[in-house]
Structure 1
Amino acid sequence: MLLHRSESLTFFTPDHFSNIDIPFFDTGISAGFPSPAEDFKQQRLSLDRELIKNKEATFFARVSGQSMIGAGLDDNDLLVIDRSINPTHNKIAVCFLDGEFTVKRLKMSDGELWLQPENPSYQPIKITKENNFVIWGIVTNVIKRV
């Protein structure tokens, strides 16, 4: 369900899988030589249990833009955001800044707060008292298409 769309993020509420478990092979996936098929041990995996720790406080947002490519957040990636996690130095956060949502790394030092992009083409943003600013949630996972 679409919640909000801004220039840099589009927010969705999670549609939980309602206890649907997906087959999971706990063998490790080799990027070298394949392992024999008889080594597979099939288990069940719930993406809800893996990606969502607090259902009531978790949202998804789709990234638009390139400011966080150095952190592995690319255009159209889907972010898993938990609003119950305390924001701390070096966490990647979704923030509401002066009327727009953005995703940046939090840099806290000497009583100052900066929003640090992970792309040298973008400048860090110093947060001041003049800003309309809220840390909306912390990014816990990123889902990519291949």
Structure 2
Amino acid sequence: MLLPPMQPVPIAAVSSGLRLRIIGAAGAGFPSPAQDWADDAISLIELLRLDRAASFVFRISGSSMIDAGLHDNDVVVVDRDVTPSNGHIVIAIVEGGFVVRQLAVRQGVPFLEARNSRMSYAATVADDAVEVWGVVRASVRDYQR
């Protein structure tokens, strides 16, 4: 039995009062001993722009997009008011369920393609039976999972 997809809920009503203190910059190259330590605070709501009515959050399930940097249990921020274009990672409704795929336009035809070179996934033509629901703007990963 195919269950209907859960309906996303906008998160614009989330309190923006939570602010996280920035300790400093963590170098991903050679660390500098003269590194300046910032004493700022950031709001994840502002940083991820979650205070917009068109922003939604999804949890990724599966491994079809690992070559695009999206892994099982990652969280993505999706904008509904962005026009999807070639190369965007999108959330789409295919056969009644949400999927995450990359939009690829070839010879004027839009396709939804998985990005996992270790698996074989059929590309889906983004025709009238497919709704491109929104564009993925950011992702968050819990490295302890």
Question: How high is the TM-score relative to the length of structure 2?
Answer: 0.80
Tell me which protein shows more strand as a share of its residues.
1
Equivalent residue, structure 2, for 1:20: 18
Match of 1:122 in 2: 120
The equivalences for 1:86-105 within 5 A come to 86-105=83-102
Q: Distance in 1 between matches of 2:15 and 2:49?
A: 11
Q: Which residue of structure 1 lines up, in the alignment, with residue 110 of structure 2?
A: 113
* Cα distance in 1, alignment partners of residues 19 and 32 from structure 2: 25
Q: Does 1:50 align with 2:47?
A: yes
* Larger proportion of helix: 1
**Over aligned residue pairs, what C-alpha RMSD do you find?**
2.8
Q: Which runs of 5+ in 2 are unaligned?
A: none
Question: Displacement, 1:28?
Answer: 2.0
1:115–1:128 distance in 2 versus 1, CA, 3 Å: closer
Identity %, equivalent residues: 29
Q: Pick from 45, 63, 67: which aligns with 1:66?
A: 63
- The alignment partner of 1:140 has SS state of strand
Structure 1: tracts of 5 or more residues without a match: none
CA distance in 2, matches of 1:48, 1:81: 13
Is the 1:93–1:103 Cα contact (8 Å) retained in structure 2?
Answer: yes
Q: How far apart, CA to CA, are the structure 2 residues paired with 1:67 and 1:38?
A: 39
Which deviations, in whole Å up to 9, do the C-alpha atoms of 1:99-139 show, x marking residues without a partner?
A: 1110000001222111111102132423164x621100000
The alignment of Structure 1 onto Structure 2 pairs a total of residues equal to 139
Aligned to 1:133: 130
User: Aligned pair in 2 of structure 1 residues 68, 38: CA closer, same or farther (>3 Å)?
Assistant: closer
Separation of aligned partners in 2, 1:10 and 1:30 = 40
What's the CA shift string for 1:18-41, capped at 9, x where partnerless?
23322124x420246765598312
| CA shift in 2, pair 1:89/1:124, >3 Å | farther
